[in-house]
Structure 1
Amino acid sequence: MDYGRPRLGTSSCLLGEPVRHNGNHSRARFLTDALAPFVDWVTICPEVEIGLGTPRESLRLERSDDGPRLMTRRTRQDLTSAMTALAAHRAASLDVDGYVFKAKSPSCGIHGIPLYAGDCAVSRNNRGLFAGAVIEAHPLLPVEDEGRLNDAVLREAFTERVFAHARLRAFTREPWRPRDLVTFHSRHKMQLLAHSPEGFRELGRLVARAGILDPTELIDAYCAAFRAAMAAKVSVGRNVNVLHHCLGMVSDLLDPARRADLAGVIAAYQRREVPLSVPLTLLRHHARGEAATYVEGQTYFAPYPEQLALRNHVTA
């Protein structure tokens, strides 16, 4: 299967560049060891890009009547305007399929960044200035920080969305005909259904009008609906629903014993006794063995390179 090659934005320090305020890096092994062979990096260190050296004075967000200010802790330099301008420029030209930000950073953090008034943190639910601008400009872009990617479920979900965005980007940048969109959509049906039944139906209605709508209007609407559907969280119940859909498509090709075996494995996943990879592997095996090419070709079974093996640890 052609997975596409995602362009993945990330804070430079997460790839081992010594650009932290203390002159060190924050290498994230999942990025440098697991993902690196399969993606193209777009690295950004906002602090360095606005002219700060390494090492440098540490920063923090401070409360003001005009919103959070990005301040140096010791010399009290206000870097808000410089960071805001850089963020707007970078966000406007950003061409990536996902972004991994540096956790706990007042510029790049996306969760739980403290906002200070004097020496006291008055809230801890803020985003860094740079990350906030990127997310506001690209609300459907898959984003995470390296800390949350230590969670197996979040890591798998983020990676799945990144590769889906990459396939969509690759598709839309080549000349296409209505039947090409039908083929692209058909490969993603089960994956979309697992994320959002409502989005799945909306996309089906759009594709049904592929020969009627203006091509530019159609592809813009399809891309927006596709990304919105993929942003919806997958659940065990939705996975079970899709697994039974796939079982139904190969059921007539199997003898009663194999049908019962597959149904039993799906039930075991539903009880969280086995990871998602077990029913997926078994279903795909039977689809391949019985030449059920429509089922075997679904991106749901292999949404990213199999070497990543991320579903081996997903039971929820």
Structure 2
Amino acid sequence: MLANVPTRKPKIAISACLMGDEVRYNGGHKQSRYCRNLLSDHFQFVKVCPEMAIGLGVPRQPIRLVGDPESPKARGTVDKSVEVTQALADYGKEMADTLGDISGYIFMQKSPSCGVERVKVYREDGIPQMEGGSGVYAKAFCEARPDLPVEEEGRLCDPVLRENFVTRVYAYADWQALKVNGLSRRAITEFHARYKYQLMACNPEQYKVLGALLGSSGQRPLEEVAEEYFHGLMQGLRRCATRGNHANVLMHISGYLRRHMDPQDKAEIRDLILQYRDGTVPLVVPLTLLKHLFRLHPDPYIAQQVYLQPHPEKLSLRNAI
């Protein structure tokens, strides 16, 4: 029995237009079927539309980013005297604090308020610039919450990015639950042990760095260590796991079964792992066999590993990577 199978529904924020709310400048929406019809079964969504929140009605003239791509202004496309840069930035900072209990955020891509990156920025004469920028609200929000998992809805079409984002959301929620139950040095060390193989798949170097941090932190204040550890964890998990790293982790995990497998079984699991590494089969294939074998031959250390089930199985995220 796996001890780490997620059962809770993390709370995450989402651009309201992606949930079908008619809040866009033209009274329309950008409903995401994936978010509304599938992810809503596993997440508690909090809908946010910063443009509506700062008083822009529906319908309204659209806004766009103008000026320096590093620090653009959000202005009306028709009436250029309409500028809502500060209002959007202030609302981003406000919501970063108000939504303190969320575990992730899905933003509307290309939006001058909500786009995370590659948002079109115009020169003063109206000509688009080569370099893109970030939506004003999204930039302010993300700067205030740098460790929060965020993603643009369009990028969720990529199965690797999608699996990585959801994994980070559940890890963030896991840490939030740990804090509620009470931080201790032992609790953080046990948390790190559970994330060993997930970190090794994403960023094996960071796993070693965080282990060294915990091993040498005895004289430092607990809150300081916890903050540094969690920041390092989320930075490590941001890197998408490669097939090579996944294969290495699978080999490590299969080693815990060596006393229970005959040469034929060992050859079968090794072949499946190599087939995955070479792109012949998806990750779910060797994982399914490993989980079956661990049900037959339980191991308490492996049972606690987040890597085996970092998100609900019904999401089928590892069927496509």
TM-score by length of 2: 0.92
Cα displacement (A) at 1:206: 3.5
- Quote the offset at 1:140 in angstroms: 2.8
Q: Gapped runs of 5+ residues in structure 1?
A: none
Distance 2:43 2:194 in 1: 22
Cα separation, partners in 2 of 1:206 and 1:65, compared to 1, 3 Å: closer
Following superposition, the deviation at residue 200 of structure 1 comes to 0.8
Structure 1 residue 45: Cα displacement: 0.4
Structure 1 residues 190-209: aligned runs within 5 Å: 190-208=197-215
Write the distance in 2 (CA, Å) between the matches of 1:267 and 1:64: 48
1:119 alignment partner, one of 118, 122, 126: 126
Q: Secondary structure at the match of 1:43?
A: strand
Following superposition, which runs of at least 4 residues in structure 1 exceed 4 angstroms of deviation? 209-213
1:65 to 1:296, Cα distance in 2 relative to 1, 3 A: closer
Give 1:299 deviation, angstroms: 0.9
The residue number in structure 2 matching 1:109 is 115
Note if contact 1:140-1:231 (Cα within 8 Å) is conserved in structure 2.
no
The answer (yes or no) to whether the contact 1:178–1:210 under 8 Å persists in 2 is no
When residues 254 and 224 of structure 1 are mapped into structure 2, their CA distance, relative to the original with a 3 A threshold, is: same
User: How far does residue 259 in structure 1 lie from its aligned partner after superposition?
Assistant: 0.7
Does the CA contact (< 8 Å) of 2:5 and 2:312 recur in 1?
Answer: no
Query: Could you tell me which residue of structure 1 aligns to residue 304 of structure 2?
Result: 297
Identity of aligned residues (%): 36
Match of 2:87 in 1: 82
1:178 aligns with 2:158: no
1:227-254 Cα offsets, whole Å, 9 max, x none, are 1211222111111111111011222221
Post-superposition shift, 1:270? Answer: 0.8
Q: Which residue does 1:68 correspond to in 2?
A: 72
Question: CA contact under 8 A between 1:266 and 1:279: conserved in structure 2?
Answer: yes
Residue 86 of structure 1 aligns with an amino acid whose one-letter code is Y
Cα distance, 1:215 vs. partner? Answer: 2.3
Distance 1:177 1:126, change over 3 A: closer
| 1:15 aligned residue (15, 19, 22) | 19
Alignment of 1:80-159 (within 5 A): 80-95=85-100, 96-117=102-123, 118-159=125-166
Cα 1:265–1:103 change in 2 (3 A) is same
**Who is 1:54 aligned against?**
58
Deviation by residue 1:28-73 (Cα, 9 ceiling, x = unmatched): 1111111112212222101001101112111111116994111111
Distance change in 2, residues 1:126/1:202 (3 Å): same
1:28 aligns with 2:32: yes
Measure the CA separation in 1 of the matches of 2:5 and 2:71. Answer: 45
1:187 is matched with 194
TM superposition shift of 1:211: 6.0
The match for 2:10 is: 6
Please, which runs of 5 or more residues in structure 2 have no aligned partner?
none
SS at match of 2:307: coil
Tell me, in whole angstroms, the C-alpha distance in 2 between the residues paired with 1:151 and 1:196. 20
How big is the alpha-carbon RMSD for the aligned residues of Structure 1 and Structure 2? 1.9
The secondary structure found in structure 2 opposite 1:61 is: strand
Distance 2:116 2:69 in 1: 22
SS of aligned partner of 1:274: coil
The 2-side partners of 1:64 and 1:78 are apart by 15
- The number of aligned residues is 314
